[in-house]
A and B are shown apart, each in its own frame.
Chain A
Amino acid sequence: MNILVILEAFDSKFRKTSIEAACKARQLADDTDSKMTALVIGYNVFDISNQLKKYGIDNIFVIDNEKLKDYSTDVYLNIIDQFLDTCKSEIIIFGSSNQSKDLAPRLAARNNGSLCLDCIELGFKNDSFIASKYIYGGKIIADISLESSPKIIVTRAGIIKPTEKQGKADIQKLDIILKESQIVIENVEFDNNTKDLSEADIIVSGGRGIGGSDFSILENLAKELKGAIGASRSAVDEGWRPSSDQIGQTGKTVSPNLYIACGISGAIQHIAGISTSKIIVAINKDSEAPIFSKADYGIVEDIFDIIPIITQKLQNKA
């Protein structure tokens, strides 16, 4: 059997979720005595693909073309179709990203495959290939049998801690004829200093208790911890933060090592989005706030009093 992992790079680095997907694929390949192949699509990705050698991949293929600077569904899909013609793969694994959530379902539909998105566990049991995922906003885990092939998986961020394994793969550059996209990209804008929430190890998040769009006390703490800023639905609905910062069932699901909820009461939908964090800290002046029942550490204080002191102490220690 061949297991294919399709990786994404950004800013000369592979996405953390792509590396996690590769490590999960390696595990699966070891368990099933299968071959593992990696496919990298993008621009200026050939040299950095050396970084992949340490993950025990059997074959690494790279398609590197200036026209692939920006992702297009149809162009990428066409490349993968051509690739699958010569490299038949029963299982195809992506790491979680907006791009893979756009691409994987269409790849599955085109090839009559079966799909599990944001998968947390996967493997064979008897002869079934079973993938598990959170549903209903994290309230339930579903075990799903992927019946048709290819079996297409998008792994959820943070499901595995990457481990290295010496591989002996050569990196092969492939020339593939690219089709023209039906979609014209006019302009691309990246947020400068905001870390992507789904990749952040530490998140400092604010809710209604912040009382306005001035998140500076949280930003100072996040800066000290090299973390990212998130927000509850209330803070987004009030217009204090952009919707891309929203964490919870209706926003992003995150699983950082450390999640600090500041002035967030902890509605069921918010808890759903953070429940797989390693450590949760809650700071709220209302001792009855439901967030405390899910937090590893709680402090009942006004955030405006205590957070600057925490930030100051971290600065002094640095």
Chain B
Amino acid sequence: MNIIVLLKQIPDTASLIRINDDGKTINTDNIKWIINPYDEFAVEEALQIKEKYGATVTIVSVGPKRYVDSIRKALAMGADKAVLIDDPKFYDCDAFCIANICAGILKDLSYDIIIAGQRGMDLDQYNVPIAVAELLNLPQITMVTKVEIKNNQIFCDQSIDGGKRSVYTNLPVLITTQRGLNNPRFTSMAGIMKAKKKPLEIKDIGQINIDASILENKIKILAFRYPPERKQGIIIQGESLEDKAEKLINALQNDSKVI
């Protein structure tokens, strides 16, 4: 079985994000880059499927050189090989462009299951994996919390509004991860050493099976701005617990009128 994991690198969620003077990019000077946490679930799930059923796990990414660190981490976790499309022309391209490039790479690879994070925790667009599924004409199962493979079919639990459900379909398929699917493993020293020798192909757009003329952005970032800061409110003082509780209820009922 062949499993593809789509991997994105994002700023650590604890990072302070500052806007550049151009007003539409972020300052990356002191950013620590990490694997998008939902994609880390995807790597772990691919490895668990590999361990249970046997599979080759390939990481696919589109991005600049710094991606190599995150890809090596995924290889150190246990993925077998990786392809990175690093082409400066596409550093600022949108989700549909990225999806088209991924689909272009995938046309030359064999795959039974494509696993990706449900969303990038930087832009929150939920867009790339689903567009890849559309471009490759695959069924999609999103926000998956459990996976089993039987007789060339995949059985999943997925989150739905207000609950969950169990579904199945034939392979090949694209699935996206939901929190609760697994706990990603730590990398071991041996894993890190092995990862250095695993194949990582870095290509530009000319080396993949894609018509570059279709790669046009559907959206354009006009500006970034900071949301209004929440102001510090009041700390309720009182002589007793009773007093403080009474004052809070009073404030919520009469001043803020929210209860």
Chain A residues in contact with chain B, CB under 8 A?
8, 10, 15, 70-71, 73-74, 97-99, 101-102, 105-106, 108-110, 112-118, 128, 130, 133-148, 182-191, 194, 196, 202, 225, 236, 242-244, 246, 249-251, 257-258, 267-269, 275, 278-281, 287, 292-301, 305-306, 309-310, 313-314, 317
Chain A residue numbers with a CB within 8 Å of B258 are 202, 257-258, 278-279
Chain A residue numbers with a CB within 8 Å of B126 are 101, 105, 117
Q: A142-B224, A251-B179, A310-B248 are in contact. Are A106 and B242 (CB under 8 A)?
A: no
Residue among A97, A105, A114, A242 with the most chain B CB within 10 A?
A: A105
Within the assembled complex, what's the spacing in Å between the Cα atoms of A12 and B41? 36
Task: State the Cβ distance, B178 to closest chain A Cβ, in Å.
Answer: 8
Task: State the Cβ distance, A215 to closest chain B Cβ, in Å.
Answer: 18
Chain B 109-144 near chain A by CB (<8 Å), digits 1 or 0: 000000000110111111100110111000111110
Chain A residue numbers with a CB within 8 Å of B26 are 136, 140
B224 touches A183 (CB 8 A): no
Say which residue of A115, A146, A294, A314 sits within 8 Å of B127 (CB atoms).
A115
Q: A101-B126, A314-B249 are in contact. Are A306 and B244 (CB under 8 A)?
A: yes
Q: A250-B13, A250-B37 are in contact. Are A143 and B169 (CB under 8 A)?
A: no
Chain A residue numbers with a CB within 8 Å of B19 are 140
A185 touches B167 (CB 8 A): yes
B165 touches A189 (CB 8 A): yes
Give the segment of B43-51, B69-77, B194-202, B213-221 that binds chain A: B213-221
A117 touches B131 (CB 8 A): no
Chain A residue numbers with a CB within 8 Å of B230 are 275, 280, 294
Interface bin, chain B: 35 or more
B164 touches A98 (CB 8 A): no
Within the assembled complex, what's the spacing in Å between the Cα atoms of A117 and B123? 9
Chain B residue numbers with a CB within 8 Å of A301 are 241, 244
Q: Please name 17 further chain A to chain B contacts, defined as beta carbons within 8 Å, in addition to the given A99-B160, A244-B180, sorted by A numbering.
A: A73-B139, A98-B143, A98-B160, A106-B131, A116-B219, A134-B124, A140-B19, A143-B223, A186-B168, A243-B179, A244-B159, A250-B37, A258-B252, A294-B232, A297-B236, A298-B233, A306-B241
Say which residue of A98, A146, A281, A300 sits within 8 Å of B218 (CB atoms).
A146
B236 touches A140 (CB 8 A): no
Chain B residues in contact with chain A, CB under 8 A?
11, 13-14, 16-17, 19, 26, 37, 95-96, 99, 118-119, 121-127, 130-131, 133-135, 139-143, 155, 159-170, 178-180, 217-227, 230, 232-236, 241-242, 244-246, 248-249, 251-252, 256, 258-259
Chain A residue numbers with a CB within 8 Å of B241 are 301, 305-306, 309
- Number of CB contacts from chain A to chain B under 8 A: 238
Residue among A73, A113, A128, A280 with the most chain B CB within 10 A?
A: A73
B168 touches A115 (CB 8 A): no
A133 touches B167 (CB 8 A): no
Chain A residue numbers with a CB within 8 Å of B17 are 136, 139-140
Within the assembled complex, what's the spacing in Å between the Cα atoms of A116 and B234? 36
Nearest A residue to B246 via CB reads A313
What are 29 A-B pairs at a CB distance below 8 A?
A: A73-B139, A73-B140, A74-B139, A99-B161, A108-B131, A109-B131, A113-B218, A136-B17, A139-B226, A143-B225, A144-B222, A147-B217, A182-B170, A183-B168, A187-B165, A188-B165, A191-B163, A243-B178, A251-B179, A257-B258, A268-B14, A269-B13, A278-B258, A279-B252, A293-B232, A297-B233, A298-B233, A299-B236, A314-B249
Chain A residue numbers with a CB within 8 Å of B249 are 310, 313-314, 317
Chain B residue numbers with a CB within 8 Å of A144 are 219-222
Nearest A residue to B145 via CB reads A243
Say which residue of B130, B140, B160, B235 sits within 8 Å of A292 (CB atoms).
B235
Chain A residue numbers with a CB within 8 Å of B119 are 101
Q: A249-B121, A296-B233 are in contact. Are A71 and B225 (CB under 8 A)?
A: no
Residue among B141, B178, B219, B242 with the most chain A CB within 10 A?
A: B219
Say which residue of B159, B234, B248 sits within 8 Å of A98 (CB atoms).
B159
Task: State the Cβ distance, A117 to closest chain B Cβ, in Å.
Answer: 5
Say which residue of B125, B161, B234, B235 sits within 8 Å of A196 (CB atoms).
B161
B130 touches A102 (CB 8 A): yes
Within the assembled complex, what's the spacing in Å between the Cα atoms of A109 and B134? 7
Within the assembled complex, what's the spacing in Å between the Cα atoms of A134 and B121? 11
Within the assembled complex, what's the spacing in Å between the Cα atoms of A202 and B87? 47
A183 touches B141 (CB 8 A): yes
Within the assembled complex, what's the spacing in Å between the Cα atoms of A166 and B246? 42
Chain A residue numbers with a CB within 8 Å of B235 are 287, 292, 298-300
A299 touches B123 (CB 8 A): no
A309 touches B218 (CB 8 A): no
